[in-house]
């Protein structure tokens, strides 16, 4: 296999007559690489890259609305590069796909974006350090409102991204924070943790875990098949990155991180388990009768639900979504109350500044069958 040589960059003005002659020769015959007879030199890659750049610019200057079109000349350029560089071929098609995905985002052409997302995984060679398709997917956070319900690869939807109501109201800032978080993580190297180390790529008797080579039997018989990585792992990474970015943004606003609002609820659950070891106490209880809702703490033995009512349940709190979120919370709480009463579940609503002994006293009375109502309120509203 020919050793690849770094090619110097020269502007058009710096081209010698021989360089121009070689460039024009390649341009004339690139569709028939088998006919090309050019002496391999350090300038060959430069000639080909310049040809690609010129044709690519011309293609995108004339592109109007057809975002699913890749020019036929791309195939010939890949074949030509592969002929001279063997398995180290530059993936010209990937440049075009990368741009088509960006054009799709800009034009809100969601269907086209996912079309090219699939194609991206089937490129002959994919260098993750250069083409951060994870980043391109995350760009859709910016377009979140128009993409509700759009299904992503692996069956996930945009709604599955771990963004809170507060985060959705600060999408522009969140998008910038995603960029910062993405860079801080040195995301191009995340590939190493996603690849199955026992099934690394083999090409020309050498293994690589940084270049993704995808097998095309009709083109490159020496490149082995490799299953990139599961959609499930990919989107888990995307969603975790979204959560991390929002938490970083919340810190800048001197706000608690996502989930930290459960601290009081978790403390209450832990104390109840210690006080009533004989009872079956469940944290975040789900049942068919609750449908998509859940109970914060449920004592199965005595059919008793305990809901911790943080301040966002009775007054507008900006970090939890303000007045709009309060309205939603009140509606959900009323639905949950109705479900409990309908199923003869005793409901204890616990508010801030509660006295723990008051809760244990009521639970003990319920255990002894001495309760006289189905709804109890404990604590103070700030």
| Percent of the chain surpassing pLDDT 90 | 18
Residue 376 pairs with which residues in a beta bridge? 348
Lowest average pLDDT, out of 190-194, 259-263, 331-335, goes to 190-194
pLDDT at position 85 is 59
User: pLDDT higher for 165 or 142?
Assistant: 165
What's the whole-number mean pLDDT along residues 362-370?
92
**Of 242, 227, 214, 258, residue with least CA distance to 156:** 242
pLDDT, position 44: 67
Judge whether 247 and 257 are in contact, CB under 8 Å. yes
Residue 4 to residues 7, 31, 85, 115, 213: CA-CA distances in angstroms? 9, 22, 7, 33, 18
Considering the entire predicted model, what is its pTM? 0.41
Q: Are 77 and 52 in contact (CB under 8 A)?
A: yes
Closest CA to 100 of 136, 47, 46: 136
Could you give the domains of the chain? 261-378 (3.40.960.10)
pLDDT at 294 over 80: yes
**Tokens coding 266:** 């978790």
Mean pLDDT of 33-60: 67
| pLDDT for the residue numbered 274 | 92
What's residue 29's pLDDT?
A: 72
For residue 256, name the pLDDT band (cuts at 50, 70, 90). Answer: low
Q: What percent of the chain has pLDDT over 70?
A: 48
Residue scoring higher pLDDT (348 or 12): 348
Residue with tokens 């900006």, as numbered in its chain: 318
Please spell the DSSP secondary structure of 202-215, one letter per residue.
EETTEEESSEEE--
Stronger pLDDT, 103 or 285, i.e. the higher one: 285
β-bridge pairing 211-213 and 206-208: unpaired
């Amino acid at each position: 296999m020919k050793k690849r040589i770094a090619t110097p960059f020269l502007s058009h003005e710096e081209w010698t007559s021989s360089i121009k002659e070689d460039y024009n020769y390649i341009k004339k015959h690139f569709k028939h690489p088998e006919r090309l007879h050019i002496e391999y030199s350090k300038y060959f890659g430069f000639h080909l890259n310049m040809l690609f750049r010129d044709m690519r610019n011309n293609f995108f200057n004339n592109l109007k609305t057809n975002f699913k079109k890749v020019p036929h000349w791309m195939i010939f350029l890949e074949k030509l590069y592969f002929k001279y560089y063997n398995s180290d071929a530059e993936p010209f098609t990937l440049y075009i796909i990368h741009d088509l995905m960006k054009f799709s985002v800009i034009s809100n052409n969601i269907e086209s974006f996912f079309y090219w997302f699939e194609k991206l995984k089937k490129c002959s060679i994919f260098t993750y350090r250069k083409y951060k398709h994870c980043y391109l997917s995350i760009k859709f956070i910016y377009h979140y409102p128009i993409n509700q319900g759009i299904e992503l690869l692996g069956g996930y939807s945009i709604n599955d991204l771990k963004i809170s109501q507060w985060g959705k109201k600060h999408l522009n800032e969140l998008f910038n924070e995603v960029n910062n978080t993405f860079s801080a993580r040195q995301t191009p190297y995340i590939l190493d943790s996603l690849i199955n180390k026992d099934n690394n790529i083999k090409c020309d008797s050498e293994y690589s875990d940084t270049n993704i080579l995808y097998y095309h039997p009709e083109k490159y018989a020496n490149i082995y098949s490799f299953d990139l990585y599961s959609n499930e792992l990919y989107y888990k990474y995307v969603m975790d990155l979204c959560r991390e970015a929002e938490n970083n943004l919340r810190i800048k606003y001197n706000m608690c991180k996502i989930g930290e609002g459960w601290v009081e609820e978790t403390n209450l659950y832990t104390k109840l388990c210690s006080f009533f070891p004989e009872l079956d106490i469940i944290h975040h209880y789900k049942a068919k009768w609750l449908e998509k809702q859940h109970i914060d703490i449920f004592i199965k033995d005595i059919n008793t639900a305990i809901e911790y009512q943080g301040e966002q349940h009775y007054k507008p709190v900006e970090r939890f979504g303000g007045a709009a979120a309060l309205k939603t919370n009140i509606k959900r709480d009323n639905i949950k109350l109705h479900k409990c009463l309908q199923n003869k579940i005793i409901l204890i609503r616990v508010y801030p500044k509660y006295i723990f002994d008051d809760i244990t006293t009521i639970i003990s009375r319920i255990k002894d069958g001495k309760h006289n109502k189905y709804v109890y309120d404990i604590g103070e509203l700030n």
